[in-house]
Copies of this chain bind each other. A is one copy, B any other.
């Protein structure tokens, strides 16, 4: 019988770092991130058992979740949860960790989470869920799906995590970091950027199965709508690391007073 005992509180002074992602526990990026974090703290990895890209802030309500231990080269590496990135954070905080971690880091994601991808991203959502629960949280994404080199990204993640542990972030706010997939020598610098407006031009593909029935597969190409170094997608394409503060408040505050002029009556 597999027992998931809550970890014991260890009397160490090193910060406790919860590491999550959306590519699943076998994703290369989470191993690079966990290794980097082990240099500055005690690490617990809790990640989806399967890849969950594009899962946004989805959580699993209709079915139960399982927690399992995951071995790497015969040694305990972390826990898997049979659900989404947000499920991982919720279950880690309620049933795996002995107390709130000092920081949550999510990633390192395959593929940038700039512009509209911010709202589709499970990597970002895991960090936001951490912030909602009052924990300093960071999300890291690398701008490629192939030939990924996490070396500089992991190094920068470690540096930013140290800084974030020393500083404090506003309520319900995370930092989402996008890192170009280039050697450190080609990194142009760091930009604090806004979420851009670039978005997908949809082209769900229609195919037919062996019975002649159609099926549809989501696809598309990202259309660049950003034209300033203040926007994440624009800057990261110019080899800048972008850092974007994101919050879970979706209110369009600027539009409140205009909407009041609609004078709606019940």
Contact = CB atoms under 8 A, between A and B. Distances in A.
Given A197-B172, A218-B65, A204 B90 contact: yes
B246 A250 contact: yes
Nearest to A171: B197
A184 B266 contact: yes
A195 B253 CA distance: 10
B61 A216 contact: no
A56 interface: yes
Contact of A262 (B65, B167, B187, B194): B167
Give the size range of A's interface with the partner. 35 or more
A156 to B, nearest CB: 7
B246 A212 contact: no
Interface string A77-115: 000000010110011011100000000000000000000
A53 interface: yes
Given A64-B216, A163-B264, A251-B194, A204 B245 contact: no
A198 to B, nearest CB: 11
A233 B223 CA distance: 36
A218 B90 contact: yes
Contact of A3 (B214, B243, B244, B254): B214
A172 B195 CA distance: 13
Contacts of A199: 132
A116 to B, nearest CB: 6
Interface string A1-20: 11110000000000000000
A4 B256 contact: no
Given A173-B255, A192-B256, 19 more contacts: A56-B56, A57-B57, A58-B120, A59-B218, A64-B215, A66-B213, A90-B202, A94-B204, A95-B216, A116-B132, A118-B250, A119-B248, A160-B264, A175-B259, A190-B266, A194-B253, A245-B251, A245-B255, A247-B252
